[in-house]
A and B are shown apart, each in its own frame.
Chain A
């Protein structure tokens, strides 16, 4: 960079500084230019000497992947370098070019000590030939000093390029390391949060069990009926605790990738018939009707894990019953041969889930417990587990608003075992 103001010193560049340090003067450049034509005939042999060494270092096969042809090309490059050395133009572009060679060496992880030693061989060779050309001591001295200076400059440029390239590489590695560290810290924070939530959620029912048990033991209940009522709370707290522990084991296994699925061809009818009765008692106690709209249908076989299919269905069904005070819960199946999927829907006439919370309820510990539904408690993991299970079975899961704008439709899809088979073909 030249400055328009001559009073301001130019920024000291590496090559200028080294030229000053080595006393590489214009006279030296002139001597080297004079030397060039005389030395031209030695350049092929110089290249031979250099490459007699370098390709035989350990790991050379990794660096010289082009084999003989590559080494031949590199020999002519080295001769061009030699010509540049005698050319007398030691400016910024010259330095940059020299730098680029060093960067390339680092990139291909050519170990610098082999290059430096080979350069030593080149120096001895050139000095020897220079001595042959100039038997007179006076001339020889001036030429060899000039050659020594430029070889020093060149070696310095090379070593500095190695250093800078290595630094740049280290900086990149450091950045990667910092990013990895930040990611790890983020993951750790999520884990801490999870742990805090889990310990709170485990402690809550456990504390109820302990405090109510103590109350009975202290004889604070006035009659056996009240004792029974308190014990029912103890029992339901124990059930909640068990559900939470089971769900935690499930989600940990899923997230650790240790949950093995047994995917097979399944008749959804069998799964529906064995799961629906499990929520019937809960529904009947609230006067809710469960309507199975699939009864008239012939259902196609799906590919799925039977236990996990049932678990997802049960979770969505018991949510529907839990969040519905009056009305009914409908179960529907929609076959989509074009997409190769069977979609199972559970529609309720309950409180519904606001649109903005529909994605969140599939996350861990996000409970949709509006004020209207006090006392509704779950592990907060049911839908998170259902989502992961459905995805592991190559399906999708979601929530929509119910048909009349009230309630909600929870749905999930499973892949058809034979997407080509039509309903007619099955019933025929």
Chain B
């Protein structure tokens, strides 16, 4: 795996995930197996700023965000996704991640959030994550 070419070289991924260890895994997997650079944030104003800058190639967004607030109330990944899509100066692919993998959820979440792809947690395999991110960035 370490000999594999870095398919995400030069790309920048923003990770929004409330579980510290899951965020850490996403970052390490994308950096090591994909060769991209990663930012991790749960702070909504900071996230919006990153996205507005136009330097982010993809947002990996968790559906349940226990520590994120916007305008005095808690916000989830579905709502945040819609905001990100609006704020971004260019077409920004969003990969929605959730642990609640139930049939029917996928379509509902994709539709209500406007996200481009869906990632069912848990993910153990870095290569799968990298491939999913790569295909979404390429089709953007």
Contacts and interface: CB of A to CB of B under 8 A. Distances in A.
Contact of B33 (A204, A220, A371): A220
Interface string B1-42: 110000000000000000111101100110011000000000
A219 B1 contact: yes
A230 B25 CA distance: 9
Nearest to B43: A371
A210 interface: yes
A209 B21 CA distance: 10
B99 A221 contact: no
Contacts of B19: 204
A204 B24 CA distance: 13
B125 A214 contact: yes
B140 interface: no
* Tier of interface size on chain A: 20 to 34
B40 to A, nearest CB: 11
A220 B121 contact: no
Interface in B60-109: 66-67, 99
A208 B33 CA distance: 17
B124 A220 contact: no
A218 B123 CA distance: 14
B126 A208 contact: no
A203 to B, nearest CB: 7
A57 to B, nearest CB: 61
Contacts of A371: 67
Contacts of A211: 22, 25, 29, 122-124
Contacts of A212: 21, 25
A222 interface: yes
Given A208-B22, A212-B21, A230-B28, 20 more contacts: A200-B99, A203-B99, A204-B99, A207-B122, A208-B21, A210-B122, A211-B22, A211-B29, A214-B125, A214-B126, A215-B25, A215-B29, A215-B32, A218-B33, A219-B2, A220-B2, A220-B33, A222-B32, A369-B66, A374-B67
Interface in A210-249: 210-212, 214-215, 218-222, 230, 233, 237
A177 to B, nearest CB: 33
B121 A207 contact: yes
Contact of A210 (B29, B66, B67, B124): B124
B35 to A, nearest CB: 11
Nearest to B121: A207
A233 B24 contact: yes
Contacts of A9: none
The binding surface of chain A is classed by DSSP as: helix
A218 B3 CA distance: 11
26 contacts: A203-B122, A204-B99, A207-B122, A208-B22, A208-B25, A210-B122, A211-B25, A211-B29, A211-B122, A211-B123, A211-B124, A212-B21, A212-B25, A214-B126, A218-B2, A218-B126, A219-B1, A219-B2, A220-B29, A221-B32, A230-B28, A233-B24, A237-B21, A371-B67, A374-B20, A375-B20
B15 to A, nearest CB: 14
A218 B25 contact: no
Nearest to B3: A219
B98 to A, nearest CB: 11
Interface string B102-140: 000000000000000000011111100000000000000
Contacts of B123: 211
A236 to B, nearest CB: 8
A215 B28 contact: yes
- Would you list the 7 A-B pairs with minimal beta carbon distance, nearest first? A207-B122, A220-B32, A208-B21, A218-B1, A211-B25, A214-B124, A219-B2
B128 to A, nearest CB: 11
A371 B21 CA distance: 16
Nearest to B20: A375
Contacts of A218: 1-2, 33, 126
Nearest to B123: A211
Interface centre among A207, A221, A233 (most CB of B within 10 A): A207
Contacts of B1: 218-220
Nearest to B26: A211
A1 B19 CA distance: 73
B24 to A, nearest CB: 7
A208 B22 CA distance: 7
A247 to B, nearest CB: 19
Contacts of A220: 1-2, 28-29, 32-33, 126
Contacts of B33: 218, 220
Contacts of B29: 211, 215, 220
A203 B121 CA distance: 10
Interface string A234-278: 000100000000000000000000000000000000000000000
Nearest to A376: B20
B126 A215 contact: yes
Contacts of B121: 207
Nearest to B67: A371
Nearest to A220: B32
B117 to A, nearest CB: 19
B114 to A, nearest CB: 26
A214 B29 CA distance: 10
